[in-house]
Amino acid sequence: MPKTEVILTHNIIGLGGESDQVKVAAGYARNYLLPQGLAIPLTGANKRRIEALKQRRAAREADELNHMTELSRSLSKLIAVVAVKTGEDGKMFGSVTSGTIADQLKTQFDVSLDKKKIHLENPIRTLGEHEVELRLHHDVVTKLKVRVESSNPLPTPDQANAAGAEKAGAEHARTEKRGKRPQAAEAAPEKAEKPERKPKTKKGE
Protein backbone atom coordinates (compact mmCIF):
# COMPACT_ATOMS: atom_id res chain seq x y z
CA MET A 1 0.00 0.00 0.00
CA PRO A 2 1.60 3.32 -1.03
CA LYS A 3 2.50 5.74 1.76
CA THR A 4 2.63 9.48 1.80
CA GLU A 5 4.07 11.95 4.32
CA VAL A 6 1.98 14.76 5.74
CA ILE A 7 2.19 17.43 8.41
CA LEU A 8 -0.58 17.23 11.00
CA THR A 9 -2.41 20.47 11.71
CA HIS A 10 -4.59 19.03 14.49
CA ASN A 11 -4.16 16.54 17.31
CA ILE A 12 -5.22 13.07 16.20
CA ILE A 13 -5.30 10.38 18.89
CA GLY A 14 -3.05 7.49 17.98
CA LEU A 15 -1.34 9.39 15.19
CA GLY A 16 0.18 12.60 16.53
CA GLY A 17 -0.25 16.28 17.24
CA GLU A 18 0.12 19.59 15.43
CA SER A 19 3.44 19.97 13.54
CA ASP A 20 4.18 16.21 13.58
CA GLN A 21 5.37 14.79 10.28
CA VAL A 22 3.85 11.34 9.84
CA LYS A 23 3.63 8.70 7.15
CA VAL A 24 0.16 7.41 6.40
CA ALA A 25 -1.59 5.44 3.71
CA ALA A 26 -2.04 7.59 0.62
CA GLY A 27 -5.76 6.83 0.50
CA TYR A 28 -6.20 7.81 4.17
CA ALA A 29 -4.48 11.14 3.53
CA ARG A 30 -6.29 11.80 0.26
CA ASN A 31 -9.78 10.76 1.41
CA TYR A 32 -9.78 11.91 5.04
CA LEU A 33 -6.88 13.90 6.48
CA LEU A 34 -6.46 16.45 3.72
CA PRO A 35 -10.18 17.07 2.95
CA GLN A 36 -10.96 17.46 6.66
CA GLY A 37 -8.15 19.97 7.13
CA LEU A 38 -6.39 17.73 9.65
CA ALA A 39 -3.12 17.66 7.72
CA ILE A 40 -1.26 19.31 4.89
CA PRO A 41 1.10 17.77 2.33
CA LEU A 42 4.78 17.76 3.23
CA THR A 43 6.20 20.39 0.91
CA GLY A 44 8.89 23.03 1.18
CA ALA A 45 6.31 25.78 1.51
CA ASN A 46 4.33 23.90 4.16
CA LYS A 47 7.46 23.18 6.20
CA ARG A 48 7.62 26.89 6.94
CA ARG A 49 4.29 26.50 8.78
CA ILE A 50 5.71 23.96 11.23
CA GLU A 51 6.88 26.60 13.71
CA ALA A 52 3.43 28.18 13.86
CA LEU A 53 1.87 24.74 14.30
CA LYS A 54 4.25 24.00 17.18
CA GLN A 55 3.18 27.20 18.92
CA ARG A 56 -0.47 26.30 18.45
CA ARG A 57 0.20 22.83 19.84
CA ALA A 58 1.96 24.24 22.89
CA ALA A 59 -0.99 26.53 23.59
CA ARG A 60 -3.46 23.63 23.23
CA GLU A 61 -1.46 21.37 25.53
CA ALA A 62 -1.16 24.12 28.16
CA ASP A 63 -4.90 24.66 28.00
CA GLU A 64 -5.53 20.91 28.37
CA LEU A 65 -3.20 20.76 31.36
CA ASN A 66 -4.99 23.63 33.09
CA HIS A 67 -8.38 22.10 32.37
CA MET A 68 -7.38 18.67 33.68
CA THR A 69 -5.78 20.19 36.77
CA GLU A 70 -9.01 22.00 37.61
CA LEU A 71 -11.04 18.89 36.85
CA SER A 72 -8.85 16.77 39.14
CA ARG A 73 -9.49 19.15 42.04
CA SER A 74 -13.23 18.91 41.49
CA LEU A 75 -13.33 15.15 41.05
CA SER A 76 -11.23 14.52 44.16
CA LYS A 77 -14.04 16.07 46.25
CA LEU A 78 -16.83 14.00 44.72
CA ILE A 79 -18.30 10.63 45.61
CA ALA A 80 -19.79 8.73 42.69
CA VAL A 81 -22.55 6.40 43.86
CA VAL A 82 -23.14 3.21 41.91
CA ALA A 83 -26.24 1.13 42.71
CA VAL A 84 -25.99 -2.59 42.03
CA LYS A 85 -28.21 -5.60 42.52
CA THR A 86 -27.28 -7.99 45.32
CA GLY A 87 -28.42 -11.31 46.68
CA GLU A 88 -29.82 -11.92 50.15
CA ASP A 89 -26.27 -12.49 51.41
CA GLY A 90 -25.20 -9.06 50.17
CA LYS A 91 -23.03 -10.36 47.34
CA MET A 92 -23.11 -8.36 44.12
CA PHE A 93 -24.44 -9.61 40.84
CA GLY A 94 -21.79 -8.69 38.26
CA SER A 95 -19.18 -5.98 38.82
CA VAL A 96 -18.45 -2.25 38.49
CA THR A 97 -16.16 -1.38 35.57
CA SER A 98 -14.49 1.81 34.37
CA GLY A 99 -17.32 2.17 31.86
CA THR A 100 -19.87 2.02 34.69
CA ILE A 101 -18.04 4.76 36.59
CA ALA A 102 -17.78 6.94 33.47
CA ASP A 103 -21.54 6.60 32.95
CA GLN A 104 -22.26 7.63 36.55
CA LEU A 105 -19.95 10.66 36.32
CA LYS A 106 -21.94 11.81 33.31
CA THR A 107 -25.32 11.04 34.92
CA GLN A 108 -24.63 12.47 38.39
CA PHE A 109 -22.21 15.34 37.71
CA ASP A 110 -22.44 15.94 33.95
CA VAL A 111 -18.71 15.17 33.63
CA SER A 112 -17.70 13.52 30.37
CA LEU A 113 -14.59 11.41 30.93
CA ASP A 114 -13.07 8.80 28.67
CA LYS A 115 -13.26 5.45 30.45
CA LYS A 116 -9.63 4.85 29.45
CA LYS A 117 -8.67 7.57 31.94
CA ILE A 118 -10.33 5.59 34.77
CA HIS A 119 -7.76 3.07 35.97
CA LEU A 120 -9.03 -0.12 37.61
CA GLU A 121 -6.65 -3.02 38.15
CA ASN A 122 -9.70 -5.24 38.51
CA PRO A 123 -13.45 -4.59 38.34
CA ILE A 124 -15.05 -3.76 41.70
CA ARG A 125 -16.99 -6.72 43.09
CA THR A 126 -17.75 -5.65 46.66
CA LEU A 127 -20.06 -3.11 48.27
CA GLY A 128 -18.66 -0.12 50.12
CA GLU A 129 -16.39 2.81 49.35
CA HIS A 130 -13.47 2.46 46.97
CA GLU A 131 -10.75 4.82 45.72
CA VAL A 132 -10.24 4.79 41.98
CA GLU A 133 -7.28 6.30 40.19
CA LEU A 134 -7.98 8.78 37.41
CA ARG A 135 -5.19 9.38 34.90
CA LEU A 136 -6.49 12.59 33.41
CA HIS A 137 -3.24 13.70 31.80
CA HIS A 138 0.33 12.43 31.73
CA ASP A 139 1.03 15.12 34.36
CA VAL A 140 -2.28 14.91 36.25
CA VAL A 141 -3.36 11.92 38.34
CA THR A 142 -6.04 12.05 41.03
CA LYS A 143 -8.36 9.82 43.06
CA LEU A 144 -12.12 9.48 42.87
CA LYS A 145 -14.24 7.98 45.62
CA VAL A 146 -16.76 5.45 44.39
CA ARG A 147 -19.44 4.18 46.73
CA VAL A 148 -21.06 0.92 45.66
CA GLU A 149 -24.48 0.44 47.21
CA SER A 150 -27.12 -2.25 46.96
CA SER A 151 -30.22 -1.24 45.06
CA ASN A 152 -32.14 -3.60 47.33
CA PRO A 153 -30.71 -2.59 50.75
CA LEU A 154 -30.08 -5.33 53.26
CA PRO A 155 -32.15 -5.20 56.48
CA THR A 156 -30.63 -3.60 59.57
CA PRO A 157 -29.60 -5.91 62.45
CA ASP A 158 -32.79 -5.03 64.36
CA GLN A 159 -34.94 -5.76 61.32
CA ALA A 160 -33.07 -8.99 60.70
CA ASN A 161 -33.57 -10.09 64.32
CA ALA A 162 -37.26 -9.22 64.22
CA ALA A 163 -37.72 -11.10 60.96
CA GLY A 164 -35.85 -14.08 62.39
CA ALA A 165 -37.98 -14.12 65.52
CA GLU A 166 -41.17 -13.86 63.48
CA LYS A 167 -40.07 -16.71 61.24
CA ALA A 168 -39.13 -18.86 64.23
CA GLY A 169 -42.50 -18.16 65.87
CA ALA A 170 -44.37 -19.12 62.72
CA GLU A 171 -42.34 -22.32 62.42
CA HIS A 172 -43.01 -23.21 66.04
CA ALA A 173 -46.75 -22.64 65.57
CA ARG A 174 -46.80 -24.93 62.53
CA THR A 175 -44.89 -27.62 64.41
CA GLU A 176 -47.22 -27.39 67.37
CA LYS A 177 -50.25 -27.61 65.11
CA ARG A 178 -48.91 -30.71 63.40
CA GLY A 179 -48.20 -32.40 66.75
CA LYS A 180 -51.59 -31.66 68.31
CA ARG A 181 -54.21 -34.46 67.98
CA PRO A 182 -57.91 -33.88 68.33
CA GLN A 183 -59.09 -34.78 71.77
CA ALA A 184 -61.33 -37.80 72.05
CA ALA A 185 -64.94 -36.88 72.08
CA GLU A 186 -66.35 -36.70 75.53
CA ALA A 187 -67.63 -40.00 76.71
CA ALA A 188 -71.24 -40.47 75.88
CA PRO A 189 -73.52 -40.33 78.89
CA GLU A 190 -74.12 -43.70 80.46
CA LYS A 191 -77.22 -45.47 79.27
CA ALA A 192 -80.08 -45.19 81.62
CA GLU A 193 -80.48 -48.33 83.66
CA LYS A 194 -83.39 -50.48 82.56
CA PRO A 195 -86.02 -51.02 85.26
CA GLU A 196 -85.75 -54.41 86.83
CA ARG A 197 -88.37 -56.80 85.67
CA LYS A 198 -90.39 -58.42 88.38
CA PRO A 199 -90.40 -62.15 88.17
CA LYS A 200 -93.64 -63.52 86.93
CA THR A 201 -95.69 -65.33 89.64
CA LYS A 202 -97.19 -68.68 88.88
CA LYS A 203 -100.93 -69.05 89.16
CA GLY A 204 -102.16 -70.53 92.36
CA GLU A 205 -99.29 -69.29 94.45
- The domains found in the chain, sorted by start residue, are 3-48 (3.40.5.10), 73-150 (3.10.430.100)
φ, ψ of residue 160 to 5 degrees: the values are -65, -40
Lowest-confidence segment of 34-48, 132-146, 168-182, 187-201 by average pLDDT? 187-201
Q: How confident is the model at residue 40 (pLDDT cuts 50, 70, 90)?
A: very high
Residue 190 reports pLDDT greater than 60: no
Residue 162 reports pLDDT greater than 60: no
Cβ atoms < 10 Å from Cβ of 24: 19
* pLDDT given for residue 140 in this prediction: 95
Sequence-distant (≥ 6) Cβ neighbours of residue 42 within 8 angstroms = 5, 6, 7, 21
Cβ atoms < 10 Å from Cβ of 7: 20
- Section 29-58 average pLDDT: 94
- pTM summary value: 0.61
Higher pLDDT, 152 or 148: 148
- Section 43-68 average pLDDT: 93
- Section 63-90 average pLDDT: 93
